[in-house]
Amino acid sequence: MVHFLHAPITRHWRLRPVRGHTKRDFLSLHDLTIVEFSDLLSFAAAVKEHPAAFRDALRGRCAALIFEKSSLRTRVTFEVGMAQLGGQAVYLSQADIALGKREAVKDVARNLARWVDVLVVRTFSHAILEEMAAQAHIPVINALSDLLHPCQAVADLLTLREHKGDLRGLRLAFVGDGSNNVAHALAEAAAKTGVHLTIATPRGFEPHAGIFAQARADAVLTGASLLVVYDPADAVHNADAVYTDVWTSMGQEKDAERRRKIFEPFRVNSYLMGLAKPDALFLHCLPAHRGEEVTDEVLDGLHSVVLEQAENRLHVHKALLLALVAESVVPTGIEGGR
C-alpha cells in the first residue's frame, strides 16, 4: 500500500476558482496563495512518484498549445503530459494562426474554448495571455511570456526541494539578466516559499518594480528576503544554489552583441561557483549558450541539476493540467483511490 503524506492534496486537490469567477487561470505565481503554492509542489511530487495512478485522469480532454515562440522542453512536456494523463494536445504555431494578425486574439480564444478544455500559451506579450484569459471560459496556462515563466519556477523549486529538503531559509543566487521572465518568476516563487533570493545583474537590468514589490509583500509572510546586487560574487557567496539564464532572450537577438559585453562579468564559471557552499547546486532553465552565461565545466559538472529541472517540467505540467482541468484529482490503483 502507498501512503501519501498529503493525502487530501493528492486525492482531491484542485486549483479552485476564486469567488465570483467560473474558472481558474495560471498566469502568475503571485495569483496563488502561499498554501496553494506549497500544495502544488507536493502534488507535482506525487504525480512524479506515482505516474500510473493518474494515467486516465484527463481521458477525453484536449489542450490547445498556442506557441508564438519555438520550444523544446515546454512543448514536449505539455504534449507528453497530456498523453500520459489520457488526453491529447493540439499544437498551433504562429504560422498556423498568426495570433493577433490573421485573427483577433479574443476571437482565437473564444473559438478554441468551444473545442478544447485548456489553453496553453507561449507568447511574447503577457498582455495576450491576459486577454485570452479574459475571453475564454476555459483555463489558460502561461507557458512563457516576456514577463513571467511560472511553470519553470515551479519545476525549479521542486528540484531544489528534492535535493535540499525544506525550502525555507535556502539561499538562491540568480546571476544574469534580472529583468527577464525567469528572474521574475523566481522572485515570486522564492517569496511564496521562504527562499532567500539574491539577483546579481548589471545596472539597468533590474527586475520589474511592480513584480518585485508584489513578491516582497509575500516575502514578509514567509520570511524570505529578495535582494538585488550588482556584483555576482556578492550574490553567490555562501549560496545553496546558483542559477543563470541566457543573456539574450528570444526577440532580443538584434541586441545580442551589446548584451555580451555588458554581461561578460556575470558568466558562471568554476571560480564563481567556488564562492558558493561546497554542495551548492547549479541550475539553468535551458537552452544554454555554452561559453556565454555558463562554462561547460559548470553546466556539465557534478553539481549541475539542469536535466532534473527539465524532467520536472513534465511532472509540474501534469500537475497543473490536473489541477485546472480535472473535475477531481483521485488517483487510481493506490490506497484511497477508486
Q: What is the pLDDT of residues 238-265, one digit of tens each?
A: 999 999 999 998 777 888 899 999 999 9
Percent of the chain with pLDDT over 70: 92
What does pLDDT average to over the chain? 92
| Residue 11 confidence (pLDDT) | 46
What integer is the mean pLDDT of 191-207?
98
Query: pLDDT tier at 102 (50, 70, 90 boundaries)?
Result: confident
What integer is the mean pLDDT of 188-215?
98
* Residues β-bridged to residue 93: 67
How far, in whole angstroms, is CA 149 from its chain's centroid? 5
Residues 156 and 305 in one domain: yes
Known catalytic residue at 338:
no
What integer is the mean pLDDT of 30-36?
94
Residues 103 and 56 in one domain: yes
Known catalytic residue at 252:
no
In-domain check, residue 271: yes
Q: What is the pTM of this model?
A: 0.93
Known catalytic residue at 110:
no
- Domain span at residue 61? 7-148+313-325
Residues 33 and 87 in one domain: yes
The one catalytic residue among 285, 309, 315, 317? 285
In-domain check, residue 18: yes
Percent of the chain with pLDDT over 90: 84
The one catalytic residue among 25, 245, 259, 309? 245
Query: pLDDT tier at 134 (50, 70, 90 boundaries)?
Result: very high
Spatial separation of the C-alpha atoms in residues 226 and 223, rounded to whole Å: 10
Residues 42 and 161 in one domain: no
In-domain check, residue 335: no
Known catalytic residue at 114:
no
Known catalytic residue at 62:
no
What integer is the mean pLDDT of 132-141?
97
Q: How far is CA 334 from CA 52, 82, 135, in A?
A: 10, 21, 39
In-domain check, residue 28: yes
Q: Which position has the higher pLDDT, 159 or 70?
A: 159
| Cell numbers linked to 269 | 564559471
Query: pLDDT tier at 163 (50, 70, 90 boundaries)?
Result: very high
Cβ–Cβ under 8 Å, residues 211 and 187? yes
SS (H, E, C) 263-321: HHHHCECHHHHCCCCCCCEEEECCCCCECCCECHHHHCCCCECHHHHHHHHHHHHHHHH
Three-state SS at 162: helix
Helix-helix angle 181-193:209-222, to 10 degrees:
20
The one catalytic residue among 152, 161, 240, 309? 152
| Residue 178 confidence (pLDDT) | 98
Check pLDDT > 80 for residue 66: yes
- In the chain, where do the E strands start and end? 62-67, 88-93, 118-122, 140-144, 171-175, 196-200, 226-229, 241-244, 281-284
Known catalytic residue at 245:
yes
H and E: helices and strands count for the chain: 14, 9
The one catalytic residue among 30, 149, 184, 196? 149
Q: Looking only at Cα atoms, what is the longest distance across the chain? A: 58
Q: How many domains does the chain have?
A: 2
The one catalytic residue among 122, 267, 284, 317? 122
